[in-house]
Amino acid sequence: MSDLVTAPPALASEPLITPRKTFADVNADVSRPIERKPGMLWKVFFGISLLLTLQFFMEIGYQMYKGIGIWGLNHPVGWAVDITSFVFWIGIGHAGTLISAILHLFRQRWRTAINRSAEAMTIFAVMTAGLFPLIHMGRTWFGYWLVPYPNWRHLWVNFRSPLVWDVFAVTTYLTISIVFWYTGLIPDFASIRDRSTGWRRAIYGALSLGWRGSERHWQHYERAYMMLAGLSTPLVLSVHSIVSFDFATSLLPGWHTTIFPPYFVAGAIFSGFAMVVTLLVILRKVFHMEEYVTLQHLDNMNKIILATGMMVGYAYATEFFVAMYSGNPYERFTFINRATGPFAWSYWIMVSCNVLSPQVFWFKSLRRSLPVMFVVSILVNIGMWFERFTIIVSSLHRDFLPPNWSYYKPTIFDYSVIVGSFGFFFMWFLLFCRFFPTISIAEVKSVLWTAKKTEAGPKERAHAHEAVHAP
């Protein structure tokens, strides 16, 4: 196997996948968690997330019975942890689409080992996010009023409202993410089908829809996948822009600003990549995927965290500058109040976690250190949650008239929905790790060393062709 040693020079320094792996190894390694009984660690994590999910739904049940007054909401602060968590979870999802669609269009082939789990993260994050506007409505059972449907009142939803845009953006995002994810899964389900027997073969066979890997089908498949990536790219940018319109189209100082769409999108990618790093550091360890999700992948993601973290920091500075420069006293007050008022603690948690902590990634050794990146990724997640909390609560709690002012104090039910949403998200993610191929089998094969040879240009192929004909 001399060709394994003489690798293409561009890749010689850093293989995408550890070079010893063969095609058959990929199938065996990725299918292993599906074919074995789960380990103790998985069971413990799953048990905890299941319990958190149960208390989440109990809280939702009680809140539907009693009303949203059980949360700490009060007169000026009508939006708090519910909308904070909604924006947080939608943002988490964005990294998945960025990895799967945008990096695909830019031919960043390192994405192949991580796109499946990142896309799964997107779907579960958007599912979690979608619960929050529903429970926040109070009368959750009227959730279908958000959808324009013919009804006896002959009324339609107001399409000029950003809250209706949100409904369309989030449902489209969830649907297209699932379509994209499932399209990627079809060949891998077929791989699992072909190595299984009995009920597993039947189930994965049905999921694979009877895929056989015909070249005629691959031809359609690759084009369709490219089209979906092309559609998802503007979609992901639109979703968080529309989420930011919920705030930006209002007149509240601190919300009413044109910087919001790019600022929200950068923040979403920032937090999403942090969540991907958190999940992958655990996943590669628990399921022994270190040879697929290498330090190079994590290094690349940490670079993106550093870059987007600085964009977010720049946006914080711009907001302050514009508030000062606008000459609008309400705007100025809101920002001074943000940094020095009753919610200053939240503001400074946000700044230190989001702007300061990623700075360690300037150093290569720290970008490649698993404990450092794990801690930073969690700090970034905390910081990004508090960013949304700061934007929402600190802008609301002191609005135009001082008699309206108040403070927001979360109750036990607020805490319950926060931890509950994490439980709900991790429950789905753990189920995914157990039953679905967490790495794209077909895509990883195309970046293996053994496959690299086929990337030769037409000239080399013509030579090979002649060699066959010579004798």
Partner 1 sequence: MLLDRFRRPKPTRAILALYDDPDRLLNAAALAKEHGFQGMDAYTPYPVHGLSEVLGIRKSWIPYVTLVMGLSGAALGLTFEIWTQAFDWPINIGGKPMISLPAFIPVTFECGVLLGGTMTLAALLLACGLPNLNAPILDRNLTNDRFGLYIPEYGPDWNEQRIMKVLKTTGAVDVRVLRV
Site for partner 1 in 177-216 (CB under 8 A): 179-180, 182-183, 186-187, 190-191, 193-195, 205-206, 209-216
Using the 8-state DSSP alphabet, how is residue 113 labeled?
Answer: G
> Quick one: which of 36, 37, 459, 469 contacts partner 1 (CB under 8 A)?
469
Residue 235 makes contact with partner 1 by CB under 8 A:
yes
Span of 238-246, 293-301, 368-376, 416-424 interacting with partner 1 by CB under 8 A:
238-246
Provide, rounded to whole angstroms, the least separation between the CB of residue 464 and partner 1: 5
- For partner 1, the closer CB: 203 or 286: 203
Cβ-count burial of 66 within 10 angstroms (0-12 exposed, 13-18 middle, 19+ buried)? exposed
User: Can you tell me the distance from the alpha carbon of 266 to that of 260, in angstroms, rounded to the nearest whole number?
Assistant: 10
The label of the residue with tokens 């007169």 reads 75
- For partner 1, the closer CB: 194 or 299: 194
Provide, rounded to whole angstroms, the least separation between the CB of residue 444 and partner 1: 8
User: Can you tell me the distance from the alpha carbon of 408 to that of 397, in angstroms, rounded to the nearest whole number?
Assistant: 7
Provide, rounded to whole angstroms, the least separation between the CB of residue 268 and partner 1: 17
> Quick one: which of 43, 220, 285, 409 contacts partner 1 (CB under 8 A)?
220
DSSP-derived secondary structure for 232-276: HHHHHHHHHHHHHHHHHTS--TTT--TTHHHHHHHHHHHHHHHHH
Structure tokens at 207: 């999921």
Residue 111 makes contact with partner 1 by CB under 8 A:
no
- For partner 1, the closer CB: 39 or 455: 455
Q: What are phi and psi of 154, to 5 degrees?
A: 55, 25
> Quick one: which of 152, 160, 199, 459 contacts partner 1 (CB under 8 A)?
160
User: Can you tell me the distance from the alpha carbon of 207 to that of 220, in angstroms, rounded to the nearest whole number?
Assistant: 19
Structure tokens at 355: 């702007």
Residues in contact with partner 1, shown as a per-residue x/- string from 22 to 51 under the rule CB under 8 A: xxx--x------------------------
Using the 8-state DSSP alphabet, how is residue 470 labeled?
Answer: -
Q: Which amino acid is at 116?
A: R
> Quick one: which of 242, 350, 417, 418 contacts partner 1 (CB under 8 A)?
242
DSSP-based three-state secondary structure for 410: coil
Residues in contact with partner 1, shown as a per-residue x/- string from 300 to 339 under the rule CB under 8 A: ----------------------------------------
Span of 8-16, 166-174, 302-310, 421-429 interacting with partner 1 by CB under 8 A:
166-174
Provide, rounded to whole angstroms, the least separation between the CB of residue 264 and partner 1: 14
Residue 156 makes contact with partner 1 by CB under 8 A:
yes
Structure tokens at 356: 């300061």
Residue 172 makes contact with partner 1 by CB under 8 A:
yes
Provide, rounded to whole angstroms, the least separation between the CB of residue 160 and partner 1: 4
User: Can you tell me the distance from the alpha carbon of 331 to that of 257, in angstroms, rounded to the nearest whole number?
Assistant: 10
Burial 186-205 (b: 16+ CB within 10 A, else e): bbbbbbbbeebeeeeeeebb
Span of 4-12, 42-50, 222-230, 417-425 interacting with partner 1 by CB under 8 A:
222-230
Residue 464 makes contact with partner 1 by CB under 8 A:
yes
Provide, rounded to whole angstroms, the least separation between the CB of residue 103 and partner 1: 18
Q: What angle do CA 184, 189, 190 make, to 5 degrees?
A: 110
Beta-carbon count within 10 A of 372 CB: 17
Residues in contact with partner 1, shown as a per-residue x/- string from 437 to 456 under the rule CB under 8 A: ----xxx-xx---xx-xxx-
Number of residues near partner 1 (by CB under 8 A) = 79
Residue 223 makes contact with partner 1 by CB under 8 A:
yes
Residue 20 makes contact with partner 1 by CB under 8 A:
no
User: Can you tell me the distance from the alpha carbon of 103 to that of 440, in angstroms, rounded to the nearest whole number?
Assistant: 15
Residue 461 makes contact with partner 1 by CB under 8 A:
yes
Structure tokens at 80: 């708090």
